[in-house]
Amino acid sequence: MELAHAAKARPQEYRWALDAKQIVMFFEKASLRTRLTFEAAINTMGGSAIFVDQTQSPLGERESLADIARNVERWVSAIVLRTYAHETITEMAEVAACPVINALSDLEHPCQAVADFMTVEERFGSAKGLKFTYVGDGNNVCHSLMLTAAQLGAHCTIGSPKNYAPKADIVAQARAIANRTGGSVNLVNDPTVAVTDADAIYTDVCTSMGFEHEVTKRAPIFKPYQVNEQLMSHAAPHAVFMHCLPAHRNAEVTDAVLDGPQSVVFEQAENRMHAQKALLLMLLGGKKQGSGIRD
């Protein structure tokens, strides 16, 4: 995150840092921010990106993941995956001799979380001790936000309906980290309790990609968790509103909040590029250039 702030503040210093480096991006899910920010990140540092649309043909269907990895590692510097099954990423990473980046799976969305807390640091100086609240479905974004908040020593509260809480093993992992950093992880069902005195309120869609068949079932369950002006009024006066986008306007969040003065959603979107610059620099730059070492 320190490197991300530096890359944003002084982009000219990194203009050729990844000269001639290439990444390949295999995407099984639709994308706007993830695709364009990865491409912009490496292109503006002298490298290039190759996009492979897998939305009609899931990875591993035509050719085994191991065979794909053993081919691709010989041509590019890193593999970026946006998939459904988290096992697609872990299996590829076990075989590939180059870095494999999780650009989203059904379990986690770590690149998003890094950009989000970069945005928090820009606004508040530090995430340590901050009250960070996530309201909504305990999904992949929620998992990565919990883990990142814990690592930074924030006090993270998840407000979700019964039976839609984040996975217990991720919660346990986040709490173990928070115990070391001075942070905390708290789960509640009442959205008002969750957001009271919060410094940042975050939400996501109620139905993630791959769960579209549950839209009708979920709509009434998540209606009380909509982030609107009334819910925001319980937060601290200086609180910010956050969303990973795309947003379903007037579903999980109202237009008044999404477009209001407390919203930093487009700052988050911009910071995806800077955070991914830092990630690529750490994986591909300096002494690790051309080493073939996987972290």
pLDDT score at 209: 66
Q: For the chain, which domains are there? A: 2-106+271-288 (3.40.50.1370), 110-263 (3.40.50.1370)
The residues assigned a catalytic role are 82, 109, 112, 204, 244, 272
pLDDT tens, residue by residue, 45-98? 999 999 999 999 999 999 999 999 999 999 999 999 999 999 999 999 999 999
Question: Average pLDDT of 88-112?
Answer: 98
pLDDT tens, residue by residue, 232-279? 999 999 999 999 999 999 999 999 999 999 999 999 999 999 999 999
pLDDT score at 121: 98
Asked if residue 153 has pLDDT above 90, the reply is yes
pLDDT score at 216: 85
pLDDT tens, residue by residue, 158-178? 999 999 999 999 999 999 999
Q: Is-contact 149 132, C-beta < 8 A? A: yes
What is the rounded average pLDDT for all residues in the chain? 94
pLDDT score at 288: 32
pTM, 2 dp: 0.93
